[in-house]
Structure 1
């Protein structure tokens, strides 16, 4: 089944990966067994730091392994790729490496893209394509996707306004849009500053970046730009894809019975806090909550009302905007600093779960 046939929701429910020739041997152990559901993998065929006398042989071996494991390869090609593989057309590269789709980078005119689109799935550069250039591709092409760039250099990633405008216009034209999040282990060199599409994702957790792309920006699929992402982050992402429960990584100093419990954001929660609907029901009848750590409530603070708040004792909230100290409100924990952006994504009625922060 093609990506186009499988639909937007199925695309969003699978994480794509980037595979690099220079880090492939390190990545293999993490990729083994992952390809059983035929996820997409992104492979660039024109990274100058990877060129060597054995480049084409090594790339062929890598792609053969990925295909054997069940991955579908999206190969990023330019006119430089033609020189490297000593072929006259990208069709020959596609056949040689058995790729699922070609992402056409610089060096190809519109006529070439249209001709190729009639033969196989192609992926456009979402970050630079003009929407008025894609109408005939969508109309006549076999399958058209659009993938944003990732940006290795700090301060060069896309801003929110541009990203949203391009993404929405491409989706309105009927094109599925893909974007990148950074990894948290095995960052891509030589800069090692992460490979996000959006600049403000560069130093947050992969999970938080994934959640923003999914719930706020509504992209159709998310790829990890860097070679490595930890099992902890993959577990958080896959958990949401499977259950639509939003995991919030936290450290609790009190009320540790909240760890791993699925609770609800009250539907009438204001923008500055998340009110946990079930909190007072989880409080033991004979439990006394004495005032403790009643300091200023910063963003990410997890609070519990103490006995001084009378019938509200046991109420749990997550702070989304700074609030002053209140001697009736204890701070019992904090959301992981790299996951704070998740809090603004939680709407009334959504299910959340406190999970232990990965230390």
Structure 2
């Protein structure tokens, strides 16, 4: 059995909200689409399997395009477990695009709680507009808590604004995800009284399912040959029109269905620590260097919370890490900090200062564009 798939512009979050509500109730499946985004190589189908309620198109920051198919059961299971982990249902301020799973999560949790999200205007995030939205957020007796979900760059902009910071400190939880949250930014937020909860997840897991390193609900984690696997009721059905990729990514193990995240991680006393991407390791002078680990060290330096570490070919070493940043950074300082933490091979070979670090609409660094900037700098 199938049901129709309806595409809606993500520039109208309230229309997406209505479409998602209908999809969760058994109506046409929903495909939110970003205006002006590059089309995937194959067109979306007119119909999808009956179990599919939501389709999320994602290319990630480095990978090829895919359509993640999610069921109502997966979405609502994730929402229920998240509410339980946070202390109960509540009202939400929507500050994220609704073609990304984090924005759709806000809508799903609002629908499940019976609350109406306060929606920021799509486009450039503004701290003043966020403070205004927080003032308009109304909660009810059945869902009295106040929530929002941000990416790190949005959190940084709020903390630069006194009124917005005060508003954010009045929330019961502020989810921060989409990428690793720099420790200095997290510490700054908590010092301001903001109840930050760092999240980890993907479209394939109906969004965040690990809060502050701890899997919520019945979510299970395993590390297999260095790769983080996740299992639980929130997993996607797979990828539309791509059975081969589905079979490679969603695997059976020990009688459970698991999602292979593609991330390297370690789990210590039940707490997950993501180290980086499996495909984001360079071989420099014969040694393996995880770029994610280098980036974490660099981002802990003063003023470098937006820095990105990428790779560059080297005739001498094979490949080397390179820092791309929009704030001045002394190469010797970066090399010393990284060398002390990770060893000589991990020390960045260069710092590329740019006017603005390229970002995706999700708030994540555009790593393909960042790498191109690093390569272009090498040819000067």
RCO higher in structure (CA 8 A, sep ≥6): 1
Q: Which has the larger radius of gyration?
A: 1
TM-score (norm 2): 0.30
TM-score (norm 1): 0.31
Higher helix share: 1
